[in-house]
Chain A
């Protein structure tokens, strides 16, 4: 049981380049999320998908787009990378258990550097 899998683990981009971060979960969760972590700021929500077919902006959506490809997969796209997007990106998923809502499960993260 892999949980939440993110690819790639590391990436260096030049300013203006584009890339897509991939995320897949095998827990049959309805909801998926993208967070970024910056020093001294905890994790901040970029975008989320409450269920398949829906996406919504989080706290810091500017410069990003997302696609909920199916129930398992949720990708994050940077169309034109900027140095301010240098960060560690985490994908997460959550669902409903027998006792109610579950906690969010996180992937291992993607460390992105934009030069």
Chain B
């Protein structure tokens, strides 16, 4: 039973426009949420995170929004660049013995076109 869901397997966006990636979760015990970016043949790399005590966190072109009541978070990339083409994973963690125990979504493949 997947506790973290990314319902859009793929997203195509034009360079310079906004990319919006969505993620839903079911476990109310999650208190920390992360986005990872993954290129082919590489490990996931951390992008941005948000604690459950906040509803927004921004880092350069990347902003994550958290709606706890809806158990929903989203990642906004503005403006999108060709180097942003990758698979993006949403992940969640809580105090389950180790903070690094992450529940991952299935990922969203983002393609940024010129």
Binary per-residue interface labels of chain A (94-115) against chain B in the complex, 1 for a CB within 8 Å, 0 otherwise: 1000000101111111000000
Known: A40-B106, A106-B43. A94 touches B99 (CB 8 A): yes
Q: Please, how many angstroms separate the alpha-carbon atoms of A42 and B36 in the complex?
A: 11
Shortest distance in angstroms between B80's beta carbon and chain A's nearest beta carbon? Answer: 22
Cross-interface CB contact of A109 among B34, B43, B107, cutoff 8 Å: B43
Q: Which residues of A contact B32 (CB under 8 A)?
A: 101
Tell me if A24 is interfacial: C-beta within 8 Å of chain B.
no
Interface size of B as a range: 20 to 34
Tell me if B98 is interfacial: C-beta within 8 Å of chain A.
yes
Tell me if A13 is interfacial: C-beta within 8 Å of chain B.
no
Cross-interface CB contact of A101 among B36, B99, B104, B107, cutoff 8 Å: B99
Interface residues of A in 27-84 (CB under 8 A from B): 31, 33, 35, 40-45, 48, 50, 56, 58
Most chain A CB neighbours (cut-off 10 Å) among B4, B49, B98, B106: B98
Interface size of A as a range: 20 to 34
Cross-interface CB contact of A44 among B34, B46, B104, cutoff 8 Å: B104
A-binding residues in B (CB < 8 A):
2, 4, 6, 9, 32, 34, 36, 41-46, 49, 89, 97-102, 104-107
Besides A48-B101, A94-B98, 12 other CB < 8 A contacts? A33-B100, A40-B106, A42-B4, A42-B6, A42-B89, A43-B44, A43-B102, A44-B104, A93-B100, A101-B99, A103-B34, A103-B46
